[in-house]
């Protein structure tokens, strides 16, 4: 039975332990946009009630670079990511199990999602070989030969204890064409079945399958049709944000959200630019993740509604305004652009200060979109956002086309 959530709002996440959902993941749609495919939902897992659409910061090694767990709590972040490949290599499952899982190990009381590790091995490692058994690769830590199979990925993720786990999928570069794309799609389906069979904590953790098929609509349809036959609690769309054209990107997202069930959360992997988030929420996506907010902070760049600003530029040397006037994060309440210009890329603490703002920016953008959807003014929000982000009628054509497809002409 779904938990009662009055007026589409969640109780504070710290109360989640007092009324855990009847299943490891319970999702319900609380409000729908009457024009686009955007919707607001509540995803209740063991450690938090997560309002969707949601942006999930990425803590690859079990830590968000430059931000403490208590700072994330102050920002009311409900869910963050860890990475199976990195955590499985170091510290390893023995340490994670001894610690009682990643929540205890890193001191994070709210929800966790773990990626399977397949993407990292294919994208980051030169010596990787994919076979039906799994992915064979060379450890970057000691050079030893390792094998990550769907079963081993589940074993690591069960030790991590994340609320949501991604299946190991056969990852190919987005722009790949030819028979390799179809091979990877079918193998991803087979690996899902092996992952489900190996999953040892189904009463506590939920597997999300990953829709693959490159930029070929027919393959995406076949994959989604097969994956939705399995009894899983949510779905991910993978294989995008890897160099494909934005036109191919939005059309694939639009297709996949049409193919996936209405009553389960839809997660678009690796997407984090603000304009992309707005477009993809309109296309019906519920969950997003990306390293971008913290990575760009390490280069001295801060996020604003008008776009990214580079605080290293001398134009900010005497600018006594905060990064954003209407932002309530500790960075904007405390520091000026001039001060941040003075310390960025020079003092290590600058990374933390700017990262706090950038994550706060992403979370506030998602909150503003949820409010707009609940009040059924999301199309107006989208138009207002795009006018600020792209002044002088400079909105990219792909954004115009994507929004027109869901009845929001710009």
- Residue 51, annotated as binding a ligand: no
181: CB partners within 8 A, 6+ apart: 172, 213, 214, 216, 219
Q: Which pLDDT score is estimated for 17? A: 43
Question: What Rg value do the Cα atoms of the chain yield, rounded?
Answer: 21
pLDDT at position 173, please?
86
To the question of whether residue 195 is assigned a binding role by annotation, the answer is no
Measured between alpha carbons, how far is 134 from 356 in angstroms, rounded to an integer? 38
- To the question of whether residue 327 is assigned a binding role by annotation, the answer is yes
SS (H, E, C) 355-394: HHHHHHHHHHHHHHHHHHHHCCCHHHHHHHHHHHHCCCCC
Q: How far is CA 33 from CA 22, 273, 375, in A?
A: 28, 22, 9
pLDDT in tens, the chain (410 residues): 333 333 333 334 444 444 566 799 999 999 999 999 999 999 999 999 999 999 999 998 899 999 999 999 999 999 999 999 889 989 999 999 999 999 999 999 999 999 987 777 666 656 678 999 999 887 777 888 889 999 999 999 999 999 999 999 998 888 889 999 999 999 999 999 999 999 999 999 999 999 999 999 999 999 999 999 999 999 999 999 989 999 999 999 999 999 999 999 999 999 999 999 999 999 999 999 999 999 999 999 999 999 999 999 999 999 999 999 999 999 999 999 999 999 998 999 999 999 999 999 999 999 999 999 999 999 999 999 999 999 998 999 999 999 999 999 99
What structural domains does the chain harbor?
25-289 (3.20.20.105), 297-389 (no CATH)
What's the CA gap between 76 and 58, in Å, rounded?
A: 15
Q: Is residue 328 a known part of a binding site?
A: no
Rounded to two decimals, what is the model's pTM? 0.94
Sign of CA dihedral 123, 129, 130, 135: negative
- Establish whether 329 is an annotated binding residue: yes
Q: Looking at the annotation, which residues are catalytic?
A: 115, 289
Closest by CA position to 171, among listed 232, 120, 222, 227? 120
């Amino acid at each position: 039975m779904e938990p009662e959530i009055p007026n589409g709002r969640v109780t504070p996440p710290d109360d989640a332990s007092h009324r855990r959902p009847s299943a490891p993941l319970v999702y319900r749609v609380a409000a729908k946009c009457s024009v686009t495919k955007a919707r607001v939902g509540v995803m209740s897992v063991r450690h938090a009630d997560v309002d969707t659409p949601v942006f999930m910061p990425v803590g690859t090694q079990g830590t968000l670079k430059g931000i403490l767990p208590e700072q994330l709590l102050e920002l009311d972040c409900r869910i963050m990511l860890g990475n199976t490949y990195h955590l499985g290599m170091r510290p390893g499952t023995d340490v994670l199990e001894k610690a009682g899982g990643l929540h205890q190990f890193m001191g994070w009381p709210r929800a966790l999602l773990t990626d399977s590790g397949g993407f990292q091995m294919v994208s980051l490692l030169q010596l990787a070989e994919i076979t039906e058994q799994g992915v064979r690769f060379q450890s970057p830590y000691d050079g030893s030969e390792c094998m990550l199979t769907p079963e081993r990925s589940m074993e690591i993720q069960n030790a991590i204890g994340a609320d949501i786990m991604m299946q190991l999928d056969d990852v190919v570069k987005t722009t790949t064409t030819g028979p390799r794309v179809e091979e990877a799609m079918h193998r991803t389906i087979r690996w899902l079945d092996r992952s489900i069979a190996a999953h040892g904590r189904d009463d506590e953790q939920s597997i999300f399958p990953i829709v693959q098929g490159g930029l070929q609509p027919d393959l995406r349809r076949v994959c989604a049709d097969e994956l939705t036959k399995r009894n899983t609690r949510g779905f991910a769309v993978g294989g995008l944000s890897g160099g494909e054209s934005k036109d191919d990107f939005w059309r694939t997202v639009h297709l996949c959200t049409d193919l996936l069930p209405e009553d389960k959360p839809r997660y678009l992997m690796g997407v984090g630019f603000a304009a992309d988030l707005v477009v993809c929420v309109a296309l019906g996506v519920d969950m997003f993740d990306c390293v971008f907010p913290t990575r760009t902070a390490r280069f001295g760049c801060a996020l604003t509604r008008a776009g990214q600003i580079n605080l290293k530029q001398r134009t900010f040397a005497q600018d006594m305004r905060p990064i954003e006037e209407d932002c309530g994060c500790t960075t904007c309440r405390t520091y000026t652009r001039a001060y941040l210009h003075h310390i960025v890329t020079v003092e290590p603490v600058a990374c933390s200060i700017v990262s706090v703002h950038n994550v706060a920016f992403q979370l506030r953008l998602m909150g503003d979109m949820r409010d707009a959807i609940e009040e059924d003014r999301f199309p107006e929000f989208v138009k207002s956002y795009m006018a600020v982000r792209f002044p002088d009628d400079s909105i990219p054509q792909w954004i115009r086309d994507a929004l027109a497809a869901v009845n929001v002409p710009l």
